[in-house]
Structure 1
């Protein structure tokens, strides 16, 4: 069943920026909690909270006429989407244990370039030269932050790079699914896929889930719940944003996560970028501001075109 949505680029951008704040906070929490709780348990909690919360929401919505249900129109897409996000999370959560949050996020800023390229190839979205320049400019700012010789290019960099590749595929598939499935149904199956897969991984590993949760400190259990809530909220915003605006329009605003990561990383770990890092942030901010201006200009042009068509129709 196709789920239509009225285009609203400004709201889509607002959702993406809020999503980046959720993810930056989640990443810092994962890095901190990884010193006390096994990463597999953190991952299990993140996806289990999503599956449980969205399952309860769908069960309640089914009681209302016309509410979304559990039936998926494209189950193979749902399974693939869940598997891609879980793969990205595995690499990312383990990578966060070895890299500072801001630098880890900067590496992930390669994702918009990959997504913009895939959107042009597979979704047949038109990507203008100006938008390409803005995305690549944001990438250049990210690369300034993780420049060669900074000491960040060890084996641990492979973890976020692998996560980035998986996440780029995930975002393209999300964009494709956005108009084909109800976003809440999609979100439920993403959480369920991850929760079931991680339950199997935990059963096959030496990590014992029940004793770990029983022995965890109350504040650590609260942080597990926070991670699940932030991940659930952030990815729901992503699904909704892709229903409101084209992929190429949203991608430059993904760079807001870098600024969010710097802020949260300093507040939690007192880690801040060096002078070159601030230069990279300035480049990213400039590209984001230019993209926002471009969106406003294009919206005004579309409104003028609609007004012209209306006048012509009246005259005819």
Structure 2
């Protein structure tokens, strides 16, 4: 939980919090680009498993440093809920890497931008949360933006883009499960299960997809692991200072980064409708965030 609210933050603390958040989101985007590169060459399950080794190691190190160590951190009032959300995220990452490789980085991230809107709907249905008319309007607008992104070009509709829709839905479910877990367990416990449970699940299937990495790609894999640990650490630092509602709008920068990396680095062809749809989805997401009730 943030240690202070926006009302008590000094300008220096606020700048530091946003610097941590911006750095984390930038590194997450670099991580996506490396994942796309490796996912085009090796099975996404294999890439995810190696990445989770670093992620789980980082979670264990953090748990060991707190009072009570790993046993205290691993103690949960809802262990099966924590395991379920950890497993779901691991599988979602496998599908996300597949989407980056098959659909393209820019188009996939444009669809992923709708995740908070899907989470809004699921939170109302599953958690019984209330949404204002403005938020419902933002959800409707965002879904129209997604339809524009999915718009067939010519007479051909690429069915593979539905994988990105499924992936966004999976992450929205993960967000809702995380909110449920947050009502019962502290954030570090949830983070612990995200890394360790996810690693355990992916290691059940990852070895069957073991591949021989080229020497250069070992360097890319090491960089992927480093970015995974660094980005999560920086995000934790950001949340120690800022409220989640302050950090969330910055996450839409990943769409901007992807729209640059996709065409420039990976030579993806991105149609104007994708950019227009992404702009609509991002605008709807920001409107949804700003319409949330604030607690002082």
2:230 paired with 1:225? no
Q: Quick one: structure 1 residues 141 and 21, their matched pair in 2 at CA, closer, same or farther if it must change by over 3 Å?
A: farther
Match of 1:314 in 2: none
Match of 2:163 in 1: 159
| RMSD of aligned residue pairs (Cα, Å) | 3.9
**3-state SS of paired residue (1:180):** coil
In the TM superposition, 1:58-97 aligns within 5 A as 58-62=63-67, 69-97=73-101
* Unmatched segments (≥5 aa) in structure 2: none
Match of 2:50 in 1: 45
Q: Quick one: structure 1 residues 57 and 134, their matched pair in 2 at CA, closer, same or farther if it must change by over 3 Å?
A: same
Match of 1:313 in 2: none
Q: Quick one: structure 1 residues 172 and 239, their matched pair in 2 at CA, closer, same or farther if it must change by over 3 Å?
A: farther
Q: Quick one: structure 1 residues 257 and 44, their matched pair in 2 at CA, closer, same or farther if it must change by over 3 Å?
A: same
The offset of 1:108, in angstroms, is 2.4
Match of 1:275 in 2: 272
Distance, in Å, in 1 between the alignment partners of 2:89 and 2:112 is: 14
| TM-score, normalised with respect to structure 2 | 0.77
In the TM superposition, 1:1-316 aligns within 5 A as 20-62=25-67, 69-149=73-153, 153-203=157-207, 205=208, 207-208=209-210, 212=212, 215-217=213-215, 219-232=216-229, 237=235, 244-245=243-244, 255-271=252-268, 273-284=270-281, 286-287=283-284, 290=287
| TM-score, normalised with respect to structure 1 | 0.72
* Unmatched segments (≥5 aa) in structure 1: 304-316
The structure with the largest alpha-carbon Rg is 1
**3-state SS of paired residue (1:115):** helix
Q: Quick one: structure 1 residues 235 and 160, their matched pair in 2 at CA, closer, same or farther if it must change by over 3 Å?
A: farther
Q: Quick one: structure 1 residues 22 and 130, their matched pair in 2 at CA, closer, same or farther if it must change by over 3 Å?
A: farther
Distance, in Å, in 2 between the alignment partners of 1:122 and 1:17 is: 31
Distance, in Å, in 1 between the alignment partners of 2:259 and 2:279 is: 13
Q: What is the number of residues matched between the two proteins?
A: 285
CA contact (8 A) 2:99 2:105 kept: no
Distance, in Å, in 2 between the alignment partners of 1:46 and 1:216 is: 17
Q: Quick one: structure 1 residues 287 and 166, their matched pair in 2 at CA, closer, same or farther if it must change by over 3 Å?
A: closer
CA contact (8 A) 1:106 1:143 kept: no
